[in-house]
Chain A
Amino acid sequence: MTAPALRIAGDTHVGKVRTTNEDSLIVEPRHGLYAVLDGMGGANAGDVASRTARDAIRDFVLARRGTLAPRPLLEKAIVAGGTAVHTSAQTHREHHGMGTTVVACLIADGRAVIGHVGDSRAYLLRDGRLQALTRDHTIVEELVGRGLLAADEAERHPYKNVLSRNLGARPETRVDLLELVMRAGDRILLCSDGLYGYASAEAIQYLLGSGDAPDHVCRDLIELALRGGGGDNVSTIVIEAPAPPKTSTQVVRTNGATAWWQKRQRFVAIAKERGLTKNPIVRGLDPKEALELVASSLCEAVFHDLEKSTGVNVWTFAQNLAGGWFVRGGDWAAVRGMIDILGASARAVVDEIRAGDRQLGFLLDVAVSRALVVAELALGGLLAERLRQVDTDLIELVSLTDRIERLPEEALYGTEGTDTTERFVERPTIPFLRPDRAVTNPGVSAAVLDGVHKALTIARARTSPRADLVKQVLVALDAISTEGGEDFSTAVLSARELYGVRAIDDAGIMPLFDALDQARIITASSVHQLKATEAGRARILRAISTAHQRLVGATTGLVLEAIAPFSQRLREAQAVTSQVRDAVAKAERQRADLERRFATIVDPNLPWSARGTTEW
């Protein structure tokens, strides 16, 4: 059961906001058992819950490790932890409602068994990529799993932290388990939500993927969460499988970092030559200061990233460079230009190194290209965030503008005047379909008109007797073509007649468009039955097509006009839904608070079933 070759470290911090640490850890290298537990519950019950579960899990594993296989052993140990918390909550009134999450890892014979309940997580870093091993037991995550909620919506959902499962809510808990074979170089991270709630996955990946020892990584991860706000207790355990022997690539890479650092003055000089000091981002700065702030900083960031095989320093550099610029209203072009200058300068330096040492230069080339990718990733994040903000502003502004545009009508007739019972066909048409709008190609010869009339007559004769709508379309086409087309009036009037009182919310629209399509097909084949020259048939077909296009255009315009009020109402409904969602979230918080208070003042002699519950 022992795993002597592993390197392990664990650490926990109370955070910047909380006064007590309700997280608990198990770090038992001798028995291959590791766990993070995050307690919850008022009146300091959270730490009681996590400690109770921690002791029960550890005791169970130590007592039964010879008799059970790792997977059932860990599962039963976690269930025992839950039972212990539940029993304690039932026994002590002040602990009622307490619970804890757990994510535990049992390592035996090169295999890791991961078990979890709640939203504490396990990650695996393999081949430089971070992979989540657990899926949170939250209501929102379960909705995502069932396809009822998009992943993006889940991030903003007011219930995203509400657990659907925890240790202590019930006497027995269902545990999710998975098993994996550990490979050389793998790193497993166990953590509470105080880490991933305040640090991005990218930053976690970079720190976990650095060459630092696990204890340094744990410390850096906690520091990262604290820098991100530190709003919760934060706990981390890092388990590292023995890394493969150092490759020649890594050795050269270390040399690469040194070679890069030795060229820093050259890098700054090239950046200056390429016009860094003239970039709008550093306008107003002394050139020397600009070079120091931008070129030297990037050079240093690349050096540290090379040393540690990470990208976090370049990421931070890019974010700092562009973040402030964007906040000041700066444009992308300046940032793009700056990155181009820095990238070209870096490549020039690498080329010089390559001339002296081909292999080292090649490796540096890959590393510098990779650093530029990291910079673009950081910039993309900033751009996407600004896009999201502008989208939000735009939606608000559109709603506001629409309300302002509706004001005079409402003021004149009251809101009842714009209700849905009014037939939209009686309201003015949208500008481009006004009957008085002149057409661009008016007039056809009498011979063509005669041909059109004949073709449409043949088409009507070929139409099924029950296809009334198709026949009406053909009559309309005849009228539009015959009139000669001084303007769009016939097309608009025909479209209104055809459209009639069709509703947009049932099958009323599609038969009309089907009829328009069928009329087009029948007409086209009818033209071929006319006794006329090829050129004459072409002119007739063109005239009918023009009429058909006008009719379709006019009909589409009416449909657009019909749905306009609905889209406005939809936007308004979305705004109201958002307000209601906030209100519900607030009410839920108040309810939970009241129930917690109620639990502490209720008569202890009542049976449990009569006291209510605060558990989900």
Chain B
Amino acid sequence: MSTVPPLARAYEALRPKMLERMLDLRSTLDASLARLDERTARAQVDAVLEHLGNFITTGDLRLHRAFLQTFLAMRTAEAQSPAAVLATLVAIGDAAAQVAQDEGAGSAEGPELTLLLTRVTASTARALNDLIAEELESRRRSWRDLTHRSRARS
């Protein structure tokens, strides 16, 4: 007997359609995705969708946060602002919820999956904001230290 929760199974069943929808919308999801070739863009979006599937299955916020930390670092290295990264992840979450709503209208899990994906997007946005805030605080600390040292020297 499968131990995978029914909503996680429903999500996995819809994942290919979600991927196709996101590839159709990729120029609005993320400017950097729009510049990538089809294969690379597909791989990148699918990686996010796969992670969302894992999060739905495990509900492990620590793993989710670790994934977001890596995602944010990679996108920042590509000169994207944290706000753009946040917008991208929310857009992906929205598109996934939209597909769940459209495709699962007649099924028992469809509406629940839509609600779950919307809540996952809210958790994602919150976790990413926490990361940005921590980064902000760390820079402020550096600024205070440097100011203090600079004053001491002068």
Q: List A residues at the B interface (Cβ < 8 Å).
A: 127-132, 147, 150-153, 202, 331-332, 336, 362, 365-366, 369-370, 372-373, 376-377, 379-381, 383-388, 390-391, 393-394, 397-398, 400-401, 404-405
Contacts and interface: CB of A to CB of B under 8 A. Distances in A.
Specify which of B95, B118, B147 lies most central, judged by the most chain A CB atoms within 10 Å of its CB.
Answer: B118
Contact of A132 (B27, B114, B135): B27
A390 B146 contact: no
A390 B122 contact: no
A362 B111 contact: yes
Nearest to A385: B83
A373 B90 contact: yes
A373 B121 contact: yes
Contact of A388 (B79, B81, B133, B153): B81
A483 to B, nearest CB: 37
B120 to A, nearest CB: 9
Interface string B131-150: 01101110110110011011
Contact of A401 (B80, B91, B137, B150): B150
Nearest to A362: B111
A387 B25 contact: no
A157 B108 CA distance: 52
A380 B128 contact: yes
B93 A373 contact: yes
B7 interface: no
12 contacts: A332-B130, A332-B133, A336-B126, A336-B129, A362-B115, A370-B118, A380-B129, A381-B86, A383-B82, A383-B136, A385-B83, A401-B146
Contact of B149 (A128, A129, A386, A401): A401
Contacts of B31: 151
B58 interface: no
Contacts of A379: 129
Given A151-B32, A394-B142, A404-B153, A377 B136 contact: no
B149 A394 contact: no
Contacts of B149: 401
A381 B83 contact: yes
Given A131-B27, A390-B136, A401-B149, A380 B111 contact: no
A386 B81 CA distance: 12
Given A150-B79, A377-B86, A400-B150, 5 more contacts: A153-B79, A365-B115, A376-B90, A380-B128, A390-B139
A202 B94 CA distance: 14
A377 B94 CA distance: 12
Contact of A373 (B25, B118, B147): B118
B2 interface: no
Nearest to B25: A129
B17 interface: no
Given A380-B82, A383-B133, A386-B136, A372 B147 contact: no
Interface string B7-50: 00000000000000000010110011001000000000000000
A404 B151 CA distance: 10
Contacts of A130: 28
Interface string B59-97: 000000000000000000001111100110011011101
Contact of B146 (A331, A387, A398): A398
Contacts of B129: 332, 336, 376, 379-380, 383
A113 B72 CA distance: 38
B98 interface: yes
A369 B119 contact: yes
A387 B136 contact: yes
A320 to B, nearest CB: 17
B154 interface: yes
A582 B75 CA distance: 28
B3 to A, nearest CB: 26
Given A369-B115, A397-B143, A401-B149, A332 B136 contact: yes
Specify which of B83, B93, B126, B129 lies most central, judged by the most chain A CB atoms within 10 Å of its CB.
Answer: B129
A387 B132 contact: yes
Contacts of A383: 82-83, 129, 132-133, 136
A415 B94 CA distance: 58
A339 to B, nearest CB: 8
Nearest to B99: A127
Contacts of B142: 394
B61 to A, nearest CB: 14
Contacts of A147: 35
Nearest to A124: B28
Contacts of A398: 146
B114 A397 contact: no
A398 B143 CA distance: 9
A142 to B, nearest CB: 14
A132 B142 CA distance: 40
Given A152-B80, A373-B125, A390 B143 contact: yes
Contacts of A129: 25, 28, 91, 94-95
A416 B83 CA distance: 45
Contacts of B95: 129
B135 A387 contact: yes
Nearest to A347: B119
